[in-house]
Amino acid sequence: MEFFEKVIDVIMTKQILGTAIVILVTFILISLFNKGIEKIMIKGKTPFEVKRRKTIVKLFQSIFKYVLFVIALLIILDFYGVDTKSLIASLGVAGVVLGLALQDTVKDFISGIMLIMENYLAVGDTVTYNNFTGEVIELGLRTTKIKGFDGEVMIIANRNIDTIINASQKKANLYLDIPTAYEEKIEKVEKVLRDVVNQALEDKVALPDSAYLGVNGFDSSAVNYLIYIVCKQDDRYKVKREILKRVKEAYDKNKIKIPYEQVEVHHGQDI
């Protein structure tokens, strides 16, 4: 019984109990702040605004977390008798020294803030860095994470962000060759392809300026007809699949042949 009383006395000291309360309150405040700012800044916005605001939200969440951690640490040190006022004063001098020693890290922080505020990148954007293409999944104060289409994740220091190509802030231009059998009448094929493009425009699958362009070449077994499709950069693969599906359905409906390789087999006595 005496042992448990001693344990309780130790736990109830300012150092132990106070530290536990500070840590608990810190994590509660971080959780409430994260949920609150997401609700305030993202709810009811357009998809583009949501992407940009998600990035800014992550920045604010990171800053709030680090500031709160520093405040919590100072309070805990004060519980243990550390002169935090002198510590804060000395941190000013140490900050100058660290700033010189960690110039690259400082550049990362500044670059992270600037690229977010200038809307150069946003979470969800499709970007290319040194021939690596993927989606921005996290934009922090020091680094940016890009997830490739095969699942690989690349982490880039924000000071190198100026070498990234952001494809999401421009439209995608798709040039689709449609192979068609030689025996099909050009006028018929062109009408069908124009109808496909016009219907895609009406359905808002394709964006304005999309068009059927004409005959684009001759292969050994097919005439290639060219379709030009404009769409959002993030939707280019989905739109390409949808347009090709519509072309196939239109060809089937109008009995237009798409050529494919065929092999004829003869019995020796029939040759």
pLDDT digits (tens, 9 = 90+) for 155-206: 888 777 767 777 776 678 889 999 999 999 999 999 999 999 999 999 999 9
Domain span(s) for CATH 3.30.70.100 in the chain: 171-253
| Per-residue model confidence (pLDDT) at position 176 | 93
From the number of C-beta atoms within 10 Å of its C-beta (0-12, 13-18, 19+), residue 243 rates as: buried
For domain 171-253, the CATH class is: alpha beta
- Flag whether pLDDT at 10 surpasses 80: no
Q: Where in the chain is the domain with CATH 2.30.30.60?
A: 116-166
Picking from 141, 154, 75, the residue whose alpha carbon sits closest to that of residue 108 is 141
- Mean pLDDT (the chain) is 78
Asked if pLDDT for residue 11 goes beyond 80, the answer is: no
Strands 171-180, 207-218: parallel, antiparallel or unpaired by DSSP?
unpaired
Q: Collect all residues with Cβ–Cβ distance below 8 Å to 132 and sequence separation of at least 6.
A: 146, 148, 152, 154
> Residue 210: which of 189, 237, 231, 192 has the closest Cα?
231
Q: Please tell me whether the overall predicted TM-score, pTM, comes out greater than 0.85 for this model.
A: no
Residue 246 has pLDDT above 90, yes or no: yes
Taking only Cα atoms into account, the Rg of the chain, rounded to an integer number of angstroms, comes to 31
pLDDT, one tens digit per residue, over 71-95 is 888 888 877 777 767 766 666 655 5
pLDDT digits (tens, 9 = 90+) for 96-147: 555 555 566 666 666 666 666 666 777 778 888 888 888 888 777 678 888 9
CATH number of 116-166: 2.30.30.60
Higher-confidence residue of 251 and 35: namely 251
Would the pLDDT of 151 be above 90?
no
User: Within 13 A of 81's CA, how many CA atoms are on the CB side?
Assistant: 0
What integer pLDDT is reported at residue 251 of this predicted model? 94
| Listed range (5-9, 63-67, 162-166) with the worst mean pLDDT | 5-9
The CATH label, of 1.10.287, 2.30.30, 1.10.10, 1.20.1250, for the domain at 2-101 is 1.10.287
Distance CA 108, CA 142 (A): 5
